A = this chain, B = another copy of it.
Amino acid sequence: MKKDRNKQSAPAGKAGGKNGKVFDANLFAAESVKSLKAYVPGEQPSGGGWVKLNTNEFPYPPSPRVAEAIIAELKGGRDANLRLYPNPESRALRRAVAEHFGLEEKNAIIGNGSDDILNLAVRAFADKNLRIGAMRLSYSLYPVLANIQGAKYEEFDFGKNFSIPTRRICESGVNIFFLTSPNAPTAHGYEISEVEKLLKSFKGLVLIDEAYAPFSKAGSAACLVKKYKNAIVVCTMSKGWALAGMRVGWALADESAIGVLDKVRDSYNVDRLAQAAALAAIKDKSYYRRLCAKIVSTRAATEKFFDKIGFGYVPSSANFILVRPAANGKSGADVAADLFGHLKSEKILVRYFASDPLVNDSLRVTVGTPEEMEKFKESVKRWIGSQK
- A residues adjacent to B (C-beta < 8 A): 1, 5, 10-13, 15-16, 23-26, 28-33, 36, 38-39, 41-42, 44, 46-50, 52, 55, 57-62, 66-67, 70-71, 74, 78-79, 81-88, 112-113, 115-116, 119, 123-127, 129-130, 141, 148, 150, 175-176, 199-205, 227-230, 238, 242-247, 253-254, 256-257, 259-260, 262-264, 266-274, 277
Contact = CB atoms under 8 A, between A and B. Distances in A.
Given A24-B256, A83-B242, 5 more contacts: A25-B254, A29-B124, A33-B264, A62-B83, A112-B271
What copy number does this chain have within its complex? 2
B268 A113 contact: yes
A26 B260 contact: yes
Given A15-B230, A242-B83, A244-B84, A262 B29 contact: no
B55 A83 contact: no
6 contacts: A29-B260, A38-B263, A38-B264, A41-B267, A48-B79, A112-B247
Contact of A113 (B83, B260, B266): B266
Contacts of A242: 82-83
Contacts of A247: 86, 112, 268-271
A205 B83 contact: no
A1 B238 contact: no
B263 A36 contact: yes
A259 B25 contact: yes
Contacts of A130: 1, 28, 30
Given A57-B84, A84-B244, A113-B266, A30 B124 contact: yes
Interface centre among A23, A60, A205, A263 (most CB of B within 10 A): A263
